[in-house]
């Protein structure tokens, strides 16, 4: 297999640390910038949406948790079918483009919506677009990346994606200041990078040819095929599900900052700070995961989440919330790209789309439960209970991980191996 620079994948992997960036195929960089632009658009909206719903439309915190949870669950359910379809077609880019395109087309609904119902509909359609693109895109990253640089490749894409996740809220802050807190103007401007994202995907990403020797999949979701996803893969899924119960929607970080008096125009700064730390840590952690035990790194990420939850639970001012948000961003950098790498390494190449789809389905349902629990605890017992419950689930995940470390261990692949 050749990467998108025209070099053999094995040659691309034989690089020194100083040449690591050059070894990552151009397609990974392009997919990273596609994600960056779409995240700029999405986060300009999502950084303001919880506050807009609570302060302008009078929505309860529990309702925000339910809406966010159902929206993410909708995306995750969609990923199962889009991932399986990409395995059946043997084509990833087509479905990724469809998902990004749908998300771009629905963005104008946010400024046009005049009621909560309209915003909810737009949020769900946007998440369906995310669901359609998510599993095929992640499988495409695994297909393009050299095996010995898979952790770095997922880390790079996640890092660029997260650059968009802090640029978007940063733009939202500036535009809210310039427009005197006019939400809809900010929502309109957010439409532009969404369409640029789709254009870049269509022009710059080249899908590798499917190897003739790779087994064709007729019914990816048939139980006979799902049995090919063996125990290490399902351990990754189970661990990720428990972990997701600990990391409910970031909307609660925004609400926590607002609860201690952060002005509405500055509320997006929470997402800026979190995403900046996430972006700066994801790529180096991805590189580290190609050289060190991945489960150990994952445990470090979980410990960081426990620390973030405890700090946020007892935060009494802006500085304490800032420390908690930084720790939250670090835990994301240590875990999210790593979980994707573990899925790619424990699933057969011809079933990667299905594997990512099932992984995201389970995590999405866990996110729904986590967000509803977080919202209910917040309304009944306050933010302290919400974040302490998150810390408890994170500790539970560590306890589950410790006895199964050996089951998830994977020997290093030979540099000469060619992978789809």
CA dist list (Å): 314 to 49, 310, 321, 373: 25, 7, 9, 19
Domains of the chain: 20-207+227-405 (1.20.1250.20)
| Mean pLDDT within 129-135 | 85
Q: CB under 8 Å to 374, separation ≥6 — which residues? A: 65, 248, 249, 252, 386, 389, 390
Runs of H (alpha helix) within 265-419: 269-289, 294-313, 318-346, 352-381, 383-401, 405-408
Place of tokens 């159902």: 70
pLDDT value, residue 286: 83
- pTM (predicted TM-score): 0.66
Asked whether the predicted pLDDT for residue 14 surpasses 60, the reply is no
Q: CB under 8 Å to 222, separation ≥6 — which residues? A: none
- CB count, 10 Å around CB of 137? 30
Asked whether the predicted pLDDT for residue 363 surpasses 90, the reply is no
Q: How far apart are CA 301 and CA 307, in angstroms?
A: 10
Asked whether the predicted pLDDT for residue 33 surpasses 90, the reply is yes
Place of tokens 């007892």: 314
Asked whether the predicted pLDDT for residue 309 surpasses 80, the reply is yes
- C-beta of residue 243 within 8 angstroms of C-beta of residue 335: yes
- To the nearest whole number, what is the mean pLDDT of the chain? 79
Strand partners, 8: 2
Which two three-digit tokens encode residue 338? 């790593």
- C-beta of residue 190 within 8 angstroms of C-beta of residue 168: yes
CA dist list (Å): 243 to 129, 152, 351, 362: 24, 22, 24, 11
Q: How far apart are CA 144 and CA 1, in angstroms?
A: 9
Asked whether the predicted pLDDT for residue 212 surpasses 70, the reply is no
pLDDT value, residue 11: 39
Q: CB under 8 Å to 317, separation ≥6 — which residues? A: 260
| Mean pLDDT within 416-420 | 36
User: Which 3 state secondary structure label does DSSP give 332?
Assistant: helix
Q: How confident is the model at residue 13 (pLDDT cuts 50, 70, 90)?
A: very low
pLDDT value, residue 303: 92
Asked whether the predicted pLDDT for residue 75 surpasses 60, the reply is yes
| Mean pLDDT within 309-313 | 91
Q: How far apart are CA 277 and CA 271, in angstroms?
A: 10
User: Which 3 state secondary structure label does DSSP give 90?
Assistant: coil
pLDDT value, residue 215: 61
| Helix-, strand-, coil-residue percentages of the chain, each rounded to 5 | 80, 0, 20
CA dist list (Å): 371 to 91, 246, 257, 308, 377: 33, 10, 17, 17, 10
Asked whether the predicted pLDDT for residue 61 surpasses 60, the reply is yes
Q: Is 24 exposed, middle or buried (0-12, 13-18, 19+ CB in 10 A)?
A: buried
Q: Is 131 exposed, middle or buried (0-12, 13-18, 19+ CB in 10 A)?
A: buried
pLDDT value, residue 22: 52
| Mean pLDDT within 326-351 | 85
Least confident of 171-175, 189-193, 289-293: 289-293
């Amino acid at each position: 297999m050749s990467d998108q620079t025209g070099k053999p994948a094995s040659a691309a992997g034989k690089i020194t640390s100083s040449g690591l960036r050059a070894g990552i195929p151009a397609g990974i960089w392009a997919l990273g910038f596609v994600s960056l632009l779409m995240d700029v658009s999405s986060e300009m909206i999502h950084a303001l949406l919880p506050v807009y719903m609570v302060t302008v439309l009078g929505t309860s915190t529990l309702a925000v948790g339910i809406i966010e949870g159902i929206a993410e669950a909708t995306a995750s359910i969609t990923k199962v079918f889009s991932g399986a379809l990409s395995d059946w077609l043997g084509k990833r880019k087509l479905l990724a483009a469809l998902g990004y395109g749908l998300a771009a087309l629905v963005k104008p609904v946010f400024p046009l919506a005049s009621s909560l119902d309209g915003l909810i509909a737009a949020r769900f359609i946007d998440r369906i677009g995310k669901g359609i693109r998510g599993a095929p895109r992640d499988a495409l990253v695994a297909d393009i990346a050299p095996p010995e640089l898979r952790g770095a490749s997922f880390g790079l894409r996640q890092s660029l994606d997260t650059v968009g996740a802090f640029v978007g809220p940063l733009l939202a802050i500036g535009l809210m200041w310039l427009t005197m807190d006019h939400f809809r103007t900010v929502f309109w401007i957010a439409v532009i990078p969404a369409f640029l994202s789709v254009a870049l995907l269509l022009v710059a990403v080249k899908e590798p040819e499917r190897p003739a020797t790779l087994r064709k999949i007729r019914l990816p979701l048939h139980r006979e095929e799902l049995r090919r996803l063996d125990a290490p893969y399902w351990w990754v899924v189970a661990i990720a599900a428990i972990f997701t119960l600990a990391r409910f929607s970031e909307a609660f970080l925004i609400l926590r900052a607002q609860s201690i008096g952060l002005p509405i125009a500055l509320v997006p700064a929470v997402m800026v700070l979190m995403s900046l730390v996430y972006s700066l840590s994801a790529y180096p952690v991805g590189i580290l995961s190609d050289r060190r035990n991945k489960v150990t790194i994952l445990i470090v990420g979980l410990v960081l989440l426990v620390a973030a939850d405890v700090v946020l639970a007892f935060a009494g001012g802006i500085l304490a919330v800032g420390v908690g948000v930084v720790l939250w961003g670090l835990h994301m950098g240590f875990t999210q790209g790593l979980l994707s790498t573990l899925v790619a390494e424990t699933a057969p190449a011809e079933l990667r789309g299905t594997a990512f789809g099932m992984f995201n389905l389970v995590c999405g349902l866990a996110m729904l439960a986590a967000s509803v629990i977080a919202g209910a605890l917040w309304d009944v017992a306050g933010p302290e209970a919400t974040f302490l419950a998150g810390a408890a689930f994170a500790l539970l995940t560590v306890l589950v991980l410790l006895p199964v470390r050996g089951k998830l261990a994977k020997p290093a692949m030979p540099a000469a191996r060619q992978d789809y």
